């Protein structure tokens, strides 16, 4: 039950209780951050290592994208179920189960055989790994929120999102160095992290309250099918073509099934997702902001990693440092956002953050084609974009959870994370299609000017992107000598121009965030919001069992 802090103690007794709660809250926060750190690290550590994985396993371009987007899609498809399971079976119970699923699949991804089944193997276990993350995260975030009183929750969640965001930046750095040893280690690193997180969970003894009720399995299947088909259509459009009926069948069928899911859930006594809460203007606006933000935020790791290795010619470890610049701004913005959330509410943080991020992405997009300047000409815009994203992510996520009346923390978290991860998978699919299509056009133009026919230009472009990196060895089978140097330089410029297009779109998405946050979000401090909407969140279905 969401409860205001108890202030009926006085003197030494209250001080002792306050110290005990502070210790307990801090330890729970540390345990939860460690637990979900694996999911955040995995969003970037795999992206940075994709070139090595692709080369060693002989993966197709589509297969490479599915290693990243399949994980995100599985998270999106199962987050709502994960949030509900946390409420029904216990937050701590589902957190531990999620960690175990995630870790076992990490080990199996690292054990992918170098054979004909490699692509299928790693994609399947990445999908299951994503499902494990979807079970783990809602439980962890719900435990974190419940561990702190209202007036301290903004700062606690600023620490939560700030540190986990910083851990996202650890992925590229760790991935770069681990890949130099073996790409398999980027998955195996999750094993010791999982062991430490389980120890911290045992020591912190987080809340494990349960609210037994039937689980809407049919709803879980429907939403997973709808999300899977819609993203598949966008994902495969670059391969199948927009004139292929199969592309549109998948997209339209997926969207229709999602619409059917909404209608189905409205008729359920115990729905997987209380879709009626979207009637709340504030909750809907928060989720729209998170949707647009996630289209740019998570896919950025993949595209920036490819850009730094292909256009700048950096190795994997240096590519990690490239992304670290963005997260330098992100961490600072996250802390600033937490302070604004506690003092003024989420809306000011979202408005300011959207503006900073939009300006940062637009300026960054205009600079990436200047390859001679490299990072030196881009870093300030990367920091600006990162600060904007960090400023709005935590406050808007927290505000969304607090704006969900008659909805438990686990369920509300499941809904918001479903929106975020579906948007991330959708963004990666659409922007990946844009990048592929634009790059093919840019390469044909650049190599055509050097006398290469269109068909040969397409083969060279495919060879370059299939290798995943910026090595001239990738095109050795097509050209050689001095001409190879000219063509290689042209390919780098072409990919930079394609990346610029993607970054401009991300800037436009952040403009959409600004419009929704400015005109759609409702102001108010977090303490006032919870006081108004009150104790109804879990009082409607009070926990009957705790352990």
CA distance 289 to 295: 10
Quick check: helix, strand or coil at residue 406? coil
Name the token pair of 436: 């592929």
What's the confidence (pLDDT) of residue 543?
45
For residue 227, how many C-alpha atoms fall within 13 Å in the half-sphere facing its CB?
29
The model's pLDDT over 432-464, given as tens digits with 9 standing for 90+, comes to 888 888 988 888 888 888 777 777 777 777 666
Place of tokens 């292909």: 310
Q: Please state the φ and ψ torsions of residue 91, each to the nearest 5 degrees.
A: -65, -50
What's the confidence (pLDDT) of residue 526?
57
Concatenated DSSP letters of 135-175: HHHHHHHHHHHHTS-HHHHHHHHHHHHHHHHHHHHHHHHHH
Nearest residue to 286 via CA among 347, 200, 368: 347
What's the confidence (pLDDT) of residue 43?
67
Nearest residue to 346 via CA among 278, 405, 396: 396
Alpha carbon distances (Å) from 177 to 52, 171, 174, 188, 234: 12, 10, 5, 14, 33
Residue/partner pairs of 214-218 with CB below 8 Å, 24 or more apart: 214/269, 214/270, 215/81, 215/84, 215/85, 215/88, 215/270, 215/272, 216/84, 216/265, 216/268, 216/270, 216/271, 216/272, 218/264
**What are the start-end ranges of the E strands in 266-358?**
none
* Residue ranges in 449-468 assigned as alpha helix (H): 454-467
Pick the more confident residue, 326 or 410. Answer: 326
Name the token pair of 18: 């306050």
For residue 442, how many C-alpha atoms fall within 13 Å in the half-sphere facing its CB?
21
Quick check: helix, strand or coil at residue 524? strand
CA distance 475 to 459: 9
* 546 has pLDDT over 60: no
Name the helix (H) or strand (E) containing 363: helix 346-367
Quick check: helix, strand or coil at residue 268? coil
The model's pLDDT over 479-536, given as tens digits with 9 standing for 90+, comes to 666 677 788 888 889 999 999 999 999 999 999 999 999 999 987 665 555 555 444 4
Quick check: helix, strand or coil at residue 345? strand
Position 126 confidence tier, pLDDT thresholds 50, 70, 90: very high
Place of tokens 């909805």: 407
Q: Average per-residue pLDDT in the chain?
A: 81
CA distance 297 to 64: 19
As a residue count, the chain comes to: 547
Give the residue-averaged pLDDT of 460-484.
63
What's the confidence (pLDDT) of residue 473?
62
Quick check: helix, strand or coil at residue 534? coil
The model's pLDDT over 184-234, given as tens digits with 9 standing for 90+, comes to 888 888 899 899 999 999 998 887 878 888 888 899 899 889 988 887 787
* 259 has pLDDT over 90: yes
CA distance 100 to 12: 42
CA distance 230 to 288: 18
**Contact at 8 Å (CB) between 1 and 543?**
yes
Give the residue-averaged pLDDT of 355-372.
95
CA distance 482 to 221: 56
Name the token pair of 224: 């997973």
CA distance 474 to 326: 29
Q: 245: burial class by Cβ within 10 Å (0-12, 13-18, 19+)? A: exposed
Name the token pair of 80: 């709502």
What's the confidence (pLDDT) of residue 64?
79
Fill in the DSSP letter of residue 545: B
Alpha carbon distances (Å) from 464 to 181, 200, 443, 459: 23, 45, 11, 9
User: Global pTM?
Assistant: 0.78
């Amino acid at each position: 039950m969401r409860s205001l802090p108890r202030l009926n103690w006085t003197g030494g007794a209250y001080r002792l209780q306050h110290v005990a709660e502070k210790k307990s809250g801090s330890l729970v926060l540390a345990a939860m951050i460690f637990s979900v750190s694996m999911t955040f690290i995995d969003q970037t550590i795999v992206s940075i290592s994709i070139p090595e994985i692709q080369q060693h396993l002989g993966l197709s371009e589509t297969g490479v994208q599915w290693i990243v987007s399949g994980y995100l899609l599985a998270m999106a498809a199962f987050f709502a179920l994960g949030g509900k399971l946390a409420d029904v079976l216990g937050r701590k119970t589902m957190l531990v189960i999620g960690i175990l699923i995630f870790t076992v699949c990490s080990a199996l991804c690292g054990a992918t055989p170098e054979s004909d089944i490699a692509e299928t193997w790693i994609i399947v276990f990445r999908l299951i790994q994503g499902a494990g993350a979807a079970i783990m995260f809602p439980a962890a975030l719900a435990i974190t929120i419940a561990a702190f009183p209202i007036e301290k929750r903004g700062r606690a969640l600023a620490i939560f999102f700030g540190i986990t965001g910083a851990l996202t930046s650890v992925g590229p750095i760790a991935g770069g160095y681990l890949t130099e040893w073996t790409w398999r280690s980027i998955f195996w690193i999750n094993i010791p992290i999982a062991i430490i997180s389980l120890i911290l969970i045992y020591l912190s003894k987080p809340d494990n309250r349960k609210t037994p009720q039937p689980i809407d399995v049919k709803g879980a299947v429907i939403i997973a099918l709808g999300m899977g088909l819609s993203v598949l259509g966008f994902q495969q459009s670059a391969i199948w073509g927009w004139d292929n009926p199969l592309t549109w069948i998948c997209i339209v069928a997926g969207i229709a099934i999602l619409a059917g899911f909404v209608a189905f859930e409205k008729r359920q006594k115990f729905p997987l997702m209380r879709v009626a809460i979207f009637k709340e203007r504030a909750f809907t606006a928060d989720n729209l902001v998170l949707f647009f933000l996630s289209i740019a935020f998570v896919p950025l790791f993949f595209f920036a990693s490819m850009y730094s290795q292909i256009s700048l010619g950096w190795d994997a470890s240096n590519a990690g440092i490239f992304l670290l610049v963005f997260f330098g701004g992100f961490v600072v913005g996250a802390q600033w956002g937490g302070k604004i959330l506690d003092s003024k509410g989420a809306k000011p943080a979202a408005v300011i953050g959207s503006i900073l991020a939009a300006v940062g992405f637009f300026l960054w997009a205009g600079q990436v084609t200047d390859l001679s300047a490299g990072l030196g000409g881009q870093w300030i815009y990367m920091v600006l974009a990162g600060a904007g994203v960090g400023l709005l992510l935590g406050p808007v996520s927290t505000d969304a959870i607090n704006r969900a009346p008659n909805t438990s923390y686990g369920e509300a978290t499941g809904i918001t994370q479903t929106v975020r991860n579906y948007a991330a998978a959708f963004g990666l699919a659409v922007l990946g299609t844009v990048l592929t299509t634009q790059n093919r056009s840019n390469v044909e133009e650049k190599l055509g000017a050097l006398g290469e026919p269109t068909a040969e230009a397409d083969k060279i472009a495919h060879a370059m992107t299939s290798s995943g990196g910026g090595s001239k060895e990738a095109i050795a089978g097509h050209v050689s000598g001095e001409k190879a140097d000219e063509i290689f330089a042209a390919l780098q410029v072409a990919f930079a121009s394609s990346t610029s297009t993607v970054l401009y779109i991300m800037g436009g998405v952040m403009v959409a965030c600004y419009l929704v946050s400015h005109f759609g979000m409702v102001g108010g401090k977090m303490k006032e919001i919870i006081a108004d909407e009150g104790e109804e969140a879990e009082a409607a279905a009070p926990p009957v069992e705790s352990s």
